[in-house]
Amino acid sequence: MSGSLPALSGDQAREIDSRALRDHGLTGLVLMENAGRGCADLLQRLGIDGPIRICVGKGNNGGDGYVIARHLDNAGFSVRVGSTVDPGILAGDAAVNHAAWVSGNGTVDVVEAGEWDDMLAGADWIVDALLGTGTRGDVRPPFDAAIDAINRTSDESRRRVLSVDLPSGLDCDSGTLLGRCVRADHTATFVAPKRGLFGRRSVGVGWCDPCCRHRDSPITSRGGVGVKHRFFCDTLPNEADGGQVVLKGAEAKHLTSVLRLGPGDLVELFDGRGTAARAEIISGGKREIELSVVEREVDSQQSGPEVVLATAVPKGDRIRSLVEKATELGIDRMVPLKTQRSVVHPRVGKQKKMHHAVIAACKQCGRNRLMRIDPLMTWDELLAVENQSLVIGQQGAENSGESIARLLAAPHMPLVLCVGPEGGWTDGELAAAREAKATLIGVGRHTLRIETAALALAALVSASRKVED
């Protein structure tokens, strides 16, 4: 672990996460994906010689655990996940990553207090993703039994233990035991070391390079261009370097009236077609800002086919959340779908709001290509489109990972992920899909809301896509 990094309190660590979300174009899903992938990479560098048992809780640490499970499973390792809680109570980014895990045929065992020894038996590695930096007071059920079993198993059978960010049961600030604490061989800490890690034996502090940065270093949305504030501008000049551009409307008003930026300040612009530019403000007022482009960067292309999300539309504000998350996960195009049991059928005004949600999500997550919102299509119209690979998210369907990988290997055939309404597909619609040679993909054992099923499929594909240099 680098000695140049300051030790953080729990409040400081959470503030840095908040700043990353608020000011630097990152999202909770991106942070969680980076953390989980970093832990999975660290485990592989440390050496894996047998099965892995991942113990998860209900918060963001548990969400990290599901990301770790997905990446290790994709790498071919034997992974089993045990949860202290019913995953049905999960919310936010943790719920999305749980859905991504089960949609790839991953399973989760809800483990009772007396069952943890059996759950952990035979493991080479135990991953502690139970409790995080916000834990206060003595550890209570159901986490106490899990921690005791981890310590008992590692002592008796010499299992290796990796804790995620902080050993569960260790006070983040003082390093005192909260009644009981996981005795970790290694701790993969994020952002910077936590104060409580120092002075304790058996925490084995390690470092996850892909998900950690110095707290004072800039967190950029793109490698060479990244600056703090991003704006959508579809009129970026074509010159390789230099050129003038005018920012108008709501973006200009936000820049001057809300952020109070002025001449000499640098901002990032993106055109929605894959180009970002760092630009200096030259002059302007509330309605129109003139900028000079300093540096441009064009996105690398993702290999494989265009990925389309054809989905029934959820009610109310849930559609905005779905659009934002699908944008973050890299979906290329969204098609609102009309089926026999669908209820919401967005018209032009609603589709414009969906487009604005895409722009807002791109500004936040650092994506430079807008997800396209297509007009409403009926199920029959979608099935009639030629030269496409159809995937249908279906509760209880068979294996998904291998099917997704096979379909992504056909670069010239759009991959269309289909999600039906909460009332389900009719028998006739499923029969028509089979006739169109659609592939049914499992999205877990439970009944999912539209947006959960859609994001589970999107996350599965996102994790499998590659970027060409």
Model pTM greater than 0.95?
no
**Residue 228's pLDDT band (boundaries 50, 70, 90)?**
low
- pLDDT of 261 above 90: no
pLDDT at 162: 93
Q: Which residues contact 130 (CB under 8 A, 6 or more apart)?
A: 55, 56, 57, 61, 62, 84, 143, 146, 147, 168, 182
CATH number of residue 272's parent domain: 2.40.240.20
Of the two residues 337 and 195, the one the predictor is more confident about is 337
pLDDT at 269: 92
The most distant pair of C-alpha atoms in the chain lies apart, rounded to whole Å, by: 70
pLDDT at 347: 84
Task: Identify whether residues 155 and 235 lie together within a single domain.
Answer: no
Q: What mean pLDDT value characterizes the chain? A: 82
66 domain-assigned: yes
Of the two residues 412 and 344, the one the predictor is more confident about is 344
| Residue type, position 143, single letter | F
288 domain-assigned: yes
Cα separation, 380 vs 390, in Å, equals: 13
What count of Cα atoms within 13 Å lies in the side-chain half-sphere of residue 239? 10
Q: What residues make up the domain containing 328?
A: 307-464
Of 182, 211, 240, which one is at a domain's C-terminal end?
211
Cα separation, 111 vs 236, in Å, equals: 55
- pLDDT of 383 above 90: yes
Of the two residues 461 and 377, the one the predictor is more confident about is 377
Query: For the residues 180-191, what does the mean pLDDT come to?
Result: 85
Provide the 8-state DSSP code for 256: I
Cα separation, 336 vs 374, in Å, equals: 7
**Residue 131's pLDDT band (boundaries 50, 70, 90)?**
very high
Task: Identify whether residues 286 and 168 lie together within a single domain.
Answer: no
pLDDT at 1: 41
217 domain-assigned: no
Task: Identify whether residues 67 and 190 lie together within a single domain.
Answer: yes
Of the two residues 257 and 344, the one the predictor is more confident about is 344
pLDDT at 399: 56
Q: What is the pLDDT of residues 35-50, one digit of tens each?
A: 898 899 889 888 898 9
Q: What is the pLDDT of residues 300-317, one digit of tens each?
A: 666 678 899 999 999 888
**Residue 220's pLDDT band (boundaries 50, 70, 90)?**
very low
CB 246 within 8 A of CB 288: yes
61 domain-assigned: yes
**Residue 191's pLDDT band (boundaries 50, 70, 90)?**
low
Q: What is the pLDDT of residues 37-88, one digit of tens each?
A: 889 988 988 889 899 999 999 989 999 999 999 999 988 899 999 999 999 9
133 domain-assigned: yes
| Residue type, position 171, single letter | D
Strand order in the sheet with 52-56: 108-110, 79-83, 52-56, 125-129, 160-164, 186-189, 205-207
pLDDT at 410: 67
Sign, Cα dihedral of 125, 130, 136, 138: negative
Cα separation, 394 vs 22, in Å, equals: 35
Of the two residues 34 and 299, the one the predictor is more confident about is 34
pLDDT at 8: 64
- pLDDT of 33 above 80: yes
Q: How many CB atoms are located within 10 Å of the residue 158 CB?
A: 8
- pLDDT of 336 above 80: yes
pLDDT at 66: 96
Task: Identify whether residues 69 and 206 lie together within a single domain.
Answer: yes
- pLDDT of 248 above 50: yes
457 domain-assigned: yes
Helices of type H across 50-142: 60-74, 92-103, 116-120
- pLDDT of 172 above 60: yes
Task: Identify whether residues 204 and 244 lie together within a single domain.
Answer: no
**Residue 243's pLDDT band (boundaries 50, 70, 90)?**
confident
- pLDDT of 204 above 50: no
**Residue 401's pLDDT band (boundaries 50, 70, 90)?**
low
CATH number of residue 40's parent domain: 3.40.50.10260
Share of the chain above pLDDT 70, in %: 82
